Amino acid sequence: MNFSLSPSRIVLLFCLAYIAGVFVFSVVWGKDASNAFFETYGKEAVFEGRVVKDPDIKEKNVQLVVRPRGVKAENVLVTTERFSEYQYGDVVRIVGMLDKPPVFDDFDYGKYLEVKGIYALMSYPEIEIVEREEYPNILSLVYSKIITVKHRLREVLFQQLSPPESIILGAMVLGDQSRLTQDMKDALNKTGLRHIIAISGQHVVILVAMLMSFLLGVGLWRKQAILLCAILIAVFIILSGAEASAVRAGIMGSILFLGQYMGRSQDSLRLLVFAATLMLVQNPLLLLYDVGFQLSCLAVFGIIVSFGFFKKVLEKVPETFGIRDMVAMNFSAQVFTLPILIYNFGYVSVAGILTNILVLPVIPLLIGLGFVFLIAGAVVSFLGVILSFPVFFLLAYFNFIMEFFGKLPFSQLVLENVSPVWLLVLYVPLFFLLRKFKSEQEFLF
């Protein structure tokens, strides 16, 4: 094994050192820092600000992310009435109590929001619209147009499909997670299918892998499949609202593209380290306080280092349309993200292995047809009606699997109060198992 310090390895070692430094600093010295609202917590505040994200419509209310005038990057999360009509880009005048995000016994809600650039809360304040459709720069204008397209696609979705199918497709392709009912969330968690409909790093990474396998399975050349997959993922990210989590997921998906294009797993691993470092330079809080970032990195890492192992284990699974590759890549991602999911959410899906095998082969077709259905329906209503039928049957199949296995006893194993020590207990043996399997190949260095 060659340990010479080439320029790329020097950069890699620097990146690893930086990541380790961020981890140590976050654990040892990461405390509450002052911000623009630090001295006004618990007091009534009056300010003008701009709605900087598409309003999040919940079951009982609407949440607005508002950036006060004169503040560079710190936002307020404002909860208001369910049927309010605020839009992205609105300038509003707000009067209300400014609260500090709470820290619960098992969850630091303040750090969770801080990762998203939110440092204060307001509940049902007085809100007055000062300006509408006045965007400060070209990027804001472009983003507003993306949101307009998303709203039009959402109209097509709910005109042509009824719940629960419309809710599932909306979450899967438009990022409308807030419309999921609690029963649906519970069923998705119990069946291990939540990652398939959640637009996160893990979701996009697995989607990239599945699309690649499917496109290669139907006869496309490798470079053609990579190019088409890149285009589809870019469209997917834009239509889902181009949120930070989706963009980050797209970056992780790009790592898979580049690694597959180069044809070497060690190149993919280095790209993963470089990408993670750049993200942490922009926002160091991601490492410990953003589960999506953790899942993104681990899903990519799992696919890179364990895909060959799972493909060998699943050698009896048919290769038709890339089914074996899809299942192997899903398990590669799942085995490395499972410990983090258990630690953060306290459960493991017992039925997940079977449900993923049953559902994964139809997901690329469902997402592809789903996009075509929404776009065609937005252009010509009649086409939307025609295409809604095959999409409905695929969604009905997904919903049947979700509900059937979600109702079975012992479909989920609850593991409460999991110690961080168990992360080492789970990851260290896994690492050495895969290291032994790949002993004949060059690993990270």
- Supply 206's token pair: 């697995």
Q: Give the per-residue pLDDT at 386.
A: 93
Q: Give the per-residue pLDDT at 1.
A: 47
Phi then psi for residue 39, to 5 deg, are -90, 0
Q: Give the per-residue pLDDT at 444.
A: 37
Rounded Cα–Cα distance for residues 126 and 245 (Å): 30
Residue 21: CB partners within 8 Å, gap ≥ 6? none
Q: Give the per-residue pLDDT at 99.
A: 92
Rounded Cα–Cα distance for residues 333 and 301 (Å): 8
Rounded Cα–Cα distance for residues 153 and 329 (Å): 30
Which mean pLDDT values do the consecutive 10-residue runs of the chain (445 residues) have? 67 89 81 72 91 86 91 89 88 93 80 88 94 85 85 92 93 83 89 80 64 77 79 73 65 66 65 86 87 83 82 79 76 84 82 87 82 90 92 96 90 77 77 63 38
Residue among 306, 328, 299 nearest 217 (CA): 328
Query: The whole model's pTM is what?
Result: 0.78
Q: Give the per-residue pLDDT at 261.
A: 60
Rounded Cα–Cα distance for residues 139 and 117 (Å): 18
Question: Within its chain, how far is the Cα of 430 from the centroid?
Answer: 24
Domain 43-131, what fold?
OB fold (Dihydrolipoamide Acetyltransferase, E2P) (2.40.50)
Rounded Cα–Cα distance for residues 259 and 304 (Å): 9
Q: Give the per-residue pLDDT at 32.
A: 61
Q: Give the per-residue pLDDT at 436.
A: 64
Q: What's the DSSP call for residue 307?
A: H
User: b vs e for 248-276, b when ≥16 Cβ sit within 10 Å of the residue's Cβ?
Assistant: bbbbbbbbbbbbbeeeebbbbbbbbbebb
Q: Give the per-residue pLDDT at 204.
A: 67
Whether 174 and 157 have beta carbons less than 8 Å apart is answered as yes
Rounded Cα–Cα distance for residues 6 and 322 (Å): 37
Return the ∠ at Cα 51 (arms to 50 and 56), rounded to 5°.
170
Rounded Cα–Cα distance for residues 370 and 394 (Å): 10
Whether 113 and 101 have beta carbons less than 8 Å apart is answered as yes
Ordered by start, the domain boundaries in the chain are 43-131, 165-437
